Chains A and B, each alone.
Chain A
Amino acid sequence: MKLEMRDQPGQLVAALQPISAVGGNIIAVIHQRETSTAAEVLDVQIVLELPEGRLEKLLELLREQGVSVVRIGEERLLYECTLIVIGHLMHTDLSDTVDRIDRTGSAEVTELSLAMPAISSPSSARIIIRSTTRAEMKKAIRLLREVAEQKDLLIIEPLEDG
């Protein structure tokens, strides 16, 4: 999500403190002094990661600090990871495999490309998982690994995560 605020001196620090207080993770702070206005006013944009359900608490803390939030933009699924799965994907209920990830609520399979060779040989699929946070991605991959073990599938993970 993105927070935009019109800032008076000292407000930036006041805005950052509550973010860590609610367990958020700041990804980027972008601020630009506006030349059009004479007053000491800053346009600040903060990109951050928040655990589910903490947004209301953060806004309350920001209001207490006297920081005015101009706009909130939310991007739910920030992280993307491509994996390849090999095995008897259809016989082991591919839709259930996908569903197990989707049911987490914080990670989703957003793309699936399936190659099927001759009947009874193992098939291969490339899947793209998107998630709300890096931690949720790790959880989703762990979950996929568990499913793979139950269904005797081989998971090929990327060398670099995220």
Chain B
Amino acid sequence: MIRIALLGFGSVGRGIARAILAKDLNITVTGLADSRGGIIDAGGIDLLAALDRKGNGGPCGSPGVSPADVVAKADYDVLVEVTPTNVETAEPALGHIRGALRRRKHVVTSNKGPIALAYPELRALAEANGVLLNYEATVCGAIPLIHAIREGLAGNTISRLYGVFNGTCNYILTRMAEDSLTYEQALAEARELGYAEADPTYDVEGIDAAIKLVILANTVLDMQTTLDDVERTGITLLTPDALRLAEDQDCTIRLIGEIIPEAGVLRVSPRIVAKAHPLVVEGTLNAVTVETDLAGDLTFIGKGAGSTETASAVIGDLLYIHDRYVQGS
């Protein structure tokens, strides 16, 4: 059995709770908190009741219990940190992760902020305390890209890594190409379907994709980069004409994130791609090609966001830690 403290009860947090309820994963939640309240219960929290409270618009726990209380006082093996990303300071998630690592607790997170901004420090802290810090869910949702590169492709040298890292942009570009929609029309449709935020800047200006590149560069490609190192162009200026001109040549336009480690290149920009290329995926899918010396080229395609899909990446990390590190199971 693995005991977790869950911080964040939005889309991802609830996806994890529902998966734990639906499947026999041998995971018990002993601490739970979001920005409005929390619960600590060493015997195991009633997740169904917590989901109900949240579903009725209430807080998931009592207002007197803060996320910091859960981190510091709950009895758990792994802190699961799935609160929203803050790209400027990474807080409050960064402080909570530090707190758990200092308590010698493993950490699994889907939060890009702390990993993009403070990975070397957090990794050193985890190592010093003999625990793991896993973050598969920070890049491309359900696609197990970090595990594939770290374990499956261990020993390979990666010469280039590129792909579609943002489902919102991919949806907008797919719709612009399919039905000659303008950027504004496609964005409005994406909002209606819940694929785009009220303020879409983070997605459409390529910031989200750029953060994912920074995470990959710093954690699995031995680079030391920041968001400022990424050359970045978004999709807001694209026209239906441009997509048609690409279409005339059996090509289309996709927002591509690209890393060339040897040349120090990190780049997010709209690119012309042949329609037959494996990276040309439809809708909100993500797709990443990794070019390696031993394994050749590999392309991963899958859902880059979503409650259950992101929960899958978090649960994968949890069970990975459980199999190797958690005692008494």
Chain A residues within 8 Å of B, Cβ to Cβ: 82-84, 86-87, 113, 115, 117, 121-126, 154, 156-159
> Chain A: which residue is nearest B289 at the CB level?
A159
| Contact status A124-B269, CB under 8 Å | no
Q: Please, which residues of chain A bring their CB within 8 A of the CB of B241?
A: 115, 117, 123-124
| Contact status A86-B239, CB under 8 Å | yes
| Contact status B233-A115, CB under 8 Å | no
| Contact status B277-A159, CB under 8 Å | yes
> Chain B: which residue is nearest A126 at the CB level?
B245
**A125 vs B253: C-alpha distance in the bound complex, in angstroms?**
14
| Contact status A124-B245, CB under 8 Å | yes
B195 at interface by CB-CB < 8 Å: no
Chain A interface main SS type: strand
| Contact status B244-A115, CB under 8 Å | yes
| Contact status B249-A82, CB under 8 Å | yes
| Contact status A126-B249, CB under 8 Å | yes
**A138 vs B241: C-alpha distance in the bound complex, in angstroms?**
26
Most buried by B among A113, A121, A122, A156: A156
| Contact status B242-A84, CB under 8 Å | yes
Given A82-B272, A159-B271, A154 and B237 contact (CB-CB distance below 8 Å):
yes
In the complex, number of A-B residue pairs with CB atoms less than 8 Å apart:
64
Given A84-B272, A156-B253, A158-B271, A113 and B277 contact (CB-CB distance below 8 Å):
no
| Contact status A124-B239, CB under 8 Å | yes
Interface residue from A84, A117, A121, A154 paired with B246 (Cβ < 8 Å): A84
Smallest distance from the beta carbon of B291 to chain A beta carbons, Å? 12
Most buried by A among B233, B237, B256: B237
Q: Please, which residues of chain A bring their CB within 8 A of the CB of B239?
A: 86, 115, 117, 121-124
A-B contact pairs, 22 of them (CB 8 A): A82-B272, A83-B272, A84-B242, A84-B246, A86-B242, A87-B237, A115-B244, A121-B239, A122-B237, A124-B241, A124-B245, A125-B245, A126-B248, A154-B237, A154-B238, A156-B272, A158-B251, A159-B162, A159-B271, A159-B274, A159-B277, A159-B279
Interface residue from A86, A113, A121, A157 paired with B238 (Cβ < 8 Å): A86
**A53 vs B241: C-alpha distance in the bound complex, in angstroms?**
41
**A126 vs B242: C-alpha distance in the bound complex, in angstroms?**
8
B273 at interface by CB-CB < 8 Å: yes
Q: Please, which residues of chain B bring their CB within 8 A of the CB of A121?
A: 239
Given A84-B253, A86-B237, A122-B237, A157 and B269 contact (CB-CB distance below 8 Å):
yes
| Contact status B272-A115, CB under 8 Å | no
> Chain A: which residue is nearest B277 at the CB level?
A159
Q: Please, which residues of chain A bring their CB within 8 A of the CB of B246?
A: 84, 126, 156
> Chain A: which residue is nearest B267 at the CB level?
A157
Q: Please, which residues of chain A bring their CB within 8 A of the CB of B162?
A: 159
Q: Please, which residues of chain B bring their CB within 8 A of the CB of A113?
A: 245, 248
Interface residue from A124, A154, A158 paired with B272 (Cβ < 8 Å): A158
Interface residue from B244, B249, B273 paired with A159 (Cβ < 8 Å): B273
